[in-house]
């Protein structure tokens, strides 16, 4: 990107913020919002694991993403150092692997030891080399400071599940000795495990019960989850609560609000914004289902696959045991079609603001949501795009970095009243916000977004009924247009900018299609 282009974006932000601080009194009555923070009420801690990630063996998430032996950007072990450096900016607390649907044909023993066993991955129609296995995954997590979270093959035998826990966590036993022989003398101590991915029905639920029992028999300290619900239906099967819940710590929830699995959709900015309140509704429905079973507080939610958009993988919709003809033009075309998810222009300010909306929903439900994992973390629909010569931080990468680095540790009760943004027959609030505070109650960070594509919103901020006046440090994420995106040639079209915001009579003008996090110190 040229210096001129970079400066033009910064200049535009500065102009918008100058207008925001100088023309408050001249604003019309249109596009109004009020944020009321219950600053006198106790704030509640939230789990930073809601800022987690997910990687699956599909497309270039693993190979050509995190792991690319032989690349000049990789170390001797094959890890892409530029990718690791970038993801560290997100303070990634937990990463889920190896699937996802990939796990339906995955058998962990093929991916450990000096001699790996490549196999036809009948779930995704490619040859899986197995050069990235348990050891590489745990090493990646350790380098990032993240907790490893392993999803088991839900079609595998129960004993295979228990053996994997022993391999990772035990100090003695057949599989602990295998791990030691493979170069890892100390246990990996993997704390999070899932019995299968996106499965349902009585047979699966019984396997969840038996799998959780078997895994906890090996290591009683682990935390176990399973498929609770996936897709738009947020209701959890009561049989799961009756049969397996006493052996579980979490329930996994999955949803992508633009379903690109088979048909590739490219909705515009406003269409995406009309989806931005759906995470709140989805989480509320899951909580209602858990509460109805009398399990609220006993079982927490792991929203361990989520994104505005699912990645594209036409023609491979289920587990099928088959010999794959890699020369078949139809197979080649179907696999090539997955690259549609890599198109840079897809990932606009819509993705950045939807990401913020999702995090706000998790924070508002901090008592129930203890983990969330964006799907995926690198390439496909992920916040980071890795190509052979470097990386591009997509718009939602910057949202994740802002939330992970700028928010305080507790979330306060916040009420937002805002005019509606309408598109067709749908509407959402123009403004959404969340307020966080440290343990002492003296450092606040308030995240505010304006979803309107082209107009400012006059926003009044009150803390315990007191208008917030003064000049404060803020970080602003926006672009020249709602459809702005970053790509290889222009990696800095959309970047956060540090500035100062002045509230007059508690009021600020939020720039269009923007995310603003303002830091407010409060004297005791």
Q: Which residues pair with 515 in a beta bridge?
A: 449, 477
Assess contact for 304 and 373: CB atoms under 8 A: yes
pTM over 0.75: yes
pLDDT at 24: 40
Question: Alpha-carbon torsion 96, 102, 108, 114, what sign?
Answer: negative
pLDDT at 139: 98
pLDDT of 1 over the 60 cut: no
Pairing of strands 126-128, 52-54: unpaired
pLDDT at 65: 98
From residue 108, give the alpha-carbon distance in Å to each of 82, 118, 159, 167, 211: 28, 12, 12, 10, 16
- Mean pLDDT (whole number) for 274-297: 97
Assess contact for 9 and 493: CB atoms under 8 A: yes
* Per-residue pLDDT tens over the stretch 471-494: 999 999 999 999 999 999 999 999
Q: Give me Rg for the CA atoms of the chain.
A: 23
Q: What percent of the chain has pLDDT over 70?
A: 93
Assess contact for 44 and 411: CB atoms under 8 A: yes
Q: CATH assignment of 3-45+409-521, given 1.10.1200.10, 3.40.1440.10, 2.30.30.180, 2.60.40.1180?
A: 2.60.40.1180
Which residue in the block uniquely carries the two structure tokens 């009150």?
A: 462
Assess contact for 83 and 71: CB atoms under 8 A: no
Alpha-carbon distance of 166 to 207, in angstroms, equals 18
Domains of the chain, by residue range, sit at 3-45+409-521, 48-406
* Per-residue pLDDT tens over the stretch 60-117: 999 999 999 999 999 999 999 999 999 999 999 999 999 999 999 999 999 999 999 9
Q: What percent of the chain has pLDDT over 90?
A: 90
Write down the mean pLDDT value for the chain. 93
Fold of the domain built from segment(s) 48-406: TIM Barrel (3.20.20)
Provide the token pair at 443: 């450092």
Which residue in the block uniquely carries the two structure tokens 């208008």?
A: 467
Alpha-carbon distance of 57 to 98, in angstroms, equals 7
Q: Give 492: exposed, middle or buried? Use CB within 10 Å, 0-12, 13-18, 19+.
A: middle
């Amino acid at each position: 990107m040229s210096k001129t282009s970079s400066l033009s974006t910064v200049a535009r932000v500065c102009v918008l913020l100058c207008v925001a601080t100088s023309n408050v009194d001249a604003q019309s009555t249109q596009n109004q919002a009020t944020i009321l923070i219950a600053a006198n009420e106790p704030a509640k801690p939230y789990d930073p694991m809601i800022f987690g990630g997910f990687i699956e063996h599909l497309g270039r998430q693993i190979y050509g993403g995190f792991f690319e032996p032989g690349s000049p950007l990789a170390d001797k072990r094959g890890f892409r150092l530029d990718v690791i450096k970038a993801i560290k900016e997100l303070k990634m607390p937990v990463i889920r692997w190896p699937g996802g649907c990939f796990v339906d044909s995955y058998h962990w023993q093929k991916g450990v030891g000096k001699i790996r066993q490549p196999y036809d991955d009948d779930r995704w129609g490619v040859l899986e080399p197995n050069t990235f296995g348990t050891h590489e995954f745990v090493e990646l997590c350790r380098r990032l400071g993240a907790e490893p979270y392993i999803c088991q093959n839900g079609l595998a035998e129960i004993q295979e599940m228990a053996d994997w826990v022993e391999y990772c966590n035990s100090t003695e036993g057949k599989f602990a000795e295998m791990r030691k022989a493979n170069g890892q003398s100390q246990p990996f101590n993997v704390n999070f495990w899932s019995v299968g991915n996106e499965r349902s029905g009585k047979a699966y639920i019984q396997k969840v019960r038996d799998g959780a029992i078997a895994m906890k028999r090996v290591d009683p300290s682990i935390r176990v989850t399973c498929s609770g619900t996936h897709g738009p239906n947020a209701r959890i099967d009561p049989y799961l609560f009756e049969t397996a819940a006493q052996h579980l710590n979490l329930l996994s929830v999955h949803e992508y609000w633009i379903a690109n699995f088979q048909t590739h959709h490219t909705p515009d900015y406003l269409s995406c914004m009309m989806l931005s309140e759906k995470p709140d509704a989805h989480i509320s429905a899951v909580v209602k289902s858990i509460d109805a079973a009398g399990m609220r507080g006993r079982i927490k939610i792991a929203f361990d696959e989520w994104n505005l958009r699912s990645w594209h993988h036409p023609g491979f919709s289920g587990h099928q045991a088959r010999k794959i003809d890699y020369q078949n033009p139809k197979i080649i075309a179907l696999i090539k079609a997955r690259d549609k998810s890599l198109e840079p222009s897809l990932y606009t300010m819509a993705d950045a603001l939807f990401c913020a909306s999702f995090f706000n929903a998790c924070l508002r439900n901090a008592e129930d949501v203890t983990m969330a994992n964006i799907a995926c973390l690198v390439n496909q629909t992920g916040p980071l795009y890795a190509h052979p010569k470097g990386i591009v931080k997509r718009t939602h990468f910057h949202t994740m970095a802002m939330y992970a680095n700028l928010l305080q540790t507790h979330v306060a009760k916040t009420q937002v009243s805002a005019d509606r943004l309408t598109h067709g027959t749908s509407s959402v609030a123009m403004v959404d916000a969340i307020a966080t505070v440290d343990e002492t109650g003296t450092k606040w960070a308030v995240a505010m977004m304006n979803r309107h594509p082209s107009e400012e919103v006059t926003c009044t901020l009150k803390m315990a009924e007191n208008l917030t006046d003064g000049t404060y440090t803020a970080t602003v994420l926006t672009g020249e247009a709602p459809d702005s995106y970053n790509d290889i040639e222009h990696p800095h079209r959309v970047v956060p900018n540090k500035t100062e915001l002045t509230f007059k009579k508690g009021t600020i003008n939020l720039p269009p299609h923007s995310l603003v996090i303002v830091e407010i110190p409060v004297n005791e």
